[in-house]
C-alpha cells in the first residue's frame, strides 16, 4: 500500500522526529519486514536509532546503510523536507533555492543533496520504452545549430526518446551520446527501447542499422540538419527540457553534471500526470533507500554558482 503525506502539514506532523523518518524508511526498505542484507535472515533485535541486529548472523544492519542517507550528519527530518520541496515544486529546485528554504549553512551542502537526490531519481532496472517511439538527437549547451557527425564545441549531444501514447507523449528517456555515429546511437537506442518496437527517426544515416538490430524503423524525413525537428513528441520534450534548464537552473548546468539533470527531468516528466505531489515524495524516498550511496568525493566536478553559463 502506498502511504504518503498529502500536504505539507501532513508531512510536517508525521515527520517531526528522526525516529518517525526512520520508521518510514524501514517500511519502504523492508516492506515485508526486516531482511538481513548480509545473510537474508528475517528476524532481528531492534536496537533503536534505526539499528537492527540480525538474529541469524549478528550483523548490525542500519536502515540508512547503503542508501543516500548513509553517513549523513544532518537530521533525517531535514532530508525529508528537502525531498518534499524537490518533489512538490513542479519544476524542482535549484541548489540556491534549497539552501534558502531549508536554512542550510552552505551552498555546497544543498548542491550535494540535490545531486544525491537526482541520483535516486534513476530507478535501477527501469523498463525500456516500447510500442512506437520517436527518437532524435539534440545539442544542449550551444546557441548555433551544428551539422551532424562534426564535433560540437562545448555542446553535449543527447538522444531524446518519446513513446507515443495516442496523440500524446507517453514515457520518455534521455541519454547522452558521444557523437551521432551508428556506433554511439545504436547502443543508446538498445538501452532505452525494447527490441521489436517501432522506432521513428529522421533520415540520418546513423540510424540505418536499427533494422539489423531487431527494430522496426520508420524514417520520417530525409534532412540531416540538427535543430529543425518535425518529430512532434521529441520536439515538445526538447523545448520543455531546454526551458527547464534555463528556467529552474538559469542555464547554470555544468557539462559534467548534465546526466543528473537529464535524470531529474525524466523523473518529473514521466510522473507529470501524477495527481498527488505526495506520491512523488513517496516514490523518491522509496528509490532513495533502494540504491547504493554515492560519496561526496565520487561526485565528479565541483559545485559552482555559475557553472557553464551558456547551457
Name the site residues for Zn ion (rule: CB under 5 A). 36, 38-39, 41, 54, 56-57, 59
Least distance in angstroms from the C-beta of 32 to Zn ion? 16
User: Nearer to Zn ion by C-beta: 38 or 295?
Assistant: 38
Query: Residue 292, SS3?
Result: coil
Least distance in angstroms from the C-beta of 33 to Zn ion? 14
Least distance in angstroms from the C-beta of 72 to Zn ion? 24
Least distance in angstroms from the C-beta of 52 to Zn ion? 10
On whether the CB atoms of residues 218 and 208 are closer than 8 A, the answer is no
H or E, element range at 175? strand 168-177
User: Nearer to Zn ion by C-beta: 39 or 183?
Assistant: 39
Phi, psi of 267 (to 5 degrees): -55, -50
Least distance in angstroms from the C-beta of 39 to Zn ion? 3
Composition of the chain by helix, strand, coil, percent to 5:
40, 15, 45
Least distance in angstroms from the C-beta of 28 to Zn ion? 20
On whether the CB atoms of residues 67 and 288 are closer than 8 A, the answer is yes
Bridge partners (DSSP) listed for residue 173:
161
Least distance in angstroms from the C-beta of 43 to Zn ion? 9
Burial of 71 (0-12, 13-18, 19+ CB in 10 A): exposed
In sequence order, what are the residues at sequence separation of 6 or more whose Cβ sits closer than 8 angstroms to the Cβ of residue 11?
A: 5, 80, 81, 84, 278, 281
User: Nearer to Zn ion by C-beta: 45 or 168?
Assistant: 45
User: Nearer to Zn ion by C-beta: 56 or 203?
Assistant: 56
**What is the DSSP code (8-state) at residue 206?**
G
User: Nearer to Zn ion by C-beta: 38 or 126?
Assistant: 38
Least distance in angstroms from the C-beta of 50 to Zn ion? 16
The three cell numbers of residue 94 are: 535549484
User: Nearer to Zn ion by C-beta: 56 or 75?
Assistant: 56
Q: Which residues of 29-52 are buried (b: 16+ CB within 10 A; e: fewer)?
A: bbeeebbbeeeeeeebeeeeebbb
**What is the DSSP code (8-state) at residue 310?**
T
On whether the CB atoms of residues 76 and 50 are closer than 8 A, the answer is no
User: Nearer to Zn ion by C-beta: 36 or 152?
Assistant: 36
User: Nearer to Zn ion by C-beta: 53 or 294?
Assistant: 53
Between CA 292 and CA 5 the distance in angstroms is 25
The three cell numbers of residue 267 are: 523523473
Amino acid at each position: 500500500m502506498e502511504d504518503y503525506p498529502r500536504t505539507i502539514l501532513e508531512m510536517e506532523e508525521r515527520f517531526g522526529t528522526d525516529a518517525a523518518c526512520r520508521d518510514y524508511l524501514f517500511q519502504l526498505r523492508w516492506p515485508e519486514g526486516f531482511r538481513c542484507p548480509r545473510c537474508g535472515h528475517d528476524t532481528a533485535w531492534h536496537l533503536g536509532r534505526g539499528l537492527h541486529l540480525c538474529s541469524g548472523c549478528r550483523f548490525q544492519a542500519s536502515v540508512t546503510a547503503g542508501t543516500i542517507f548513509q553517513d549523513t550528519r544532518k537530521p533525517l527530518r531535514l532530508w525529508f523536507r528537502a525531498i518534499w520541496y524537490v518533489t512538490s515544486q513542479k519544476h524542482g529546485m535549484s541548489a540556491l533555492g534549497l539552501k534558502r528554504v531549508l536554512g542550510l549553512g552552505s551552498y555546497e551542502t544543498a548542491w550535494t543533496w540535490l545531486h544525491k537526490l537526482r541520483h535516486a531519481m534513476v530507478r535501477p532496472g527501469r523498463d525500456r520504452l516500447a510500442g512506437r517511439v520517436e527518437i532524435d538527437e539534440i545539442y544542449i549547451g550551444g546557441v548555433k545549430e551544428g551539422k551532424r557527425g562534426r564535433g560540437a564545441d562545448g555542446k553535449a549531444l543527447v538522444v531524446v526518446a518519446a513513446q507515443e501514447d495516442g496523440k500524446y507523449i507517453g514515457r520518455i528517456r534521455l541519454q547522452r551520446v558521444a557523437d551521432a555515429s551508428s556506433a554511439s546511437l545504436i547502443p543508446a537506442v538498445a538501452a532505452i527501447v525494447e527490441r521489436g518496437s517501432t522506432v521513428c527517426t529522421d533520415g540520418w544515416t546513423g540510424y540505418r542499422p536499427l533494422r539489423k538490430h531487431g527494430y522496426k524503423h520508420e524514417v520520417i524525413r530525409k534532412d540531416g540538419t540538427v535543430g529543425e525537428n518535425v518529430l512532434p513528441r521529441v520536439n515538445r520534450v526538447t523545448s520543455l527540457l531546454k526551458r527547464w534548464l534555463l528556467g529552474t537552473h538559469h542555464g547554470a548546468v555544468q557539462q559534467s553534471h548534465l546526466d543528473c539533470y537529464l535524470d531529474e527531468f525524466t523523473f518529473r516528466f514521466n510522473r507529470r500526470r501524477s495527481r498527488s505531489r505526495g506520491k512523488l515524495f513517496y516514490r523518491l524516498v522509496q528509490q532513495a533507500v533502494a540504491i547504493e550511496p554515492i560519496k561526496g568525493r565520487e561526485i565528479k566536478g565541483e559545485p559552482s554558482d555559475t557553472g557553464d553559463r551558456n547551457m
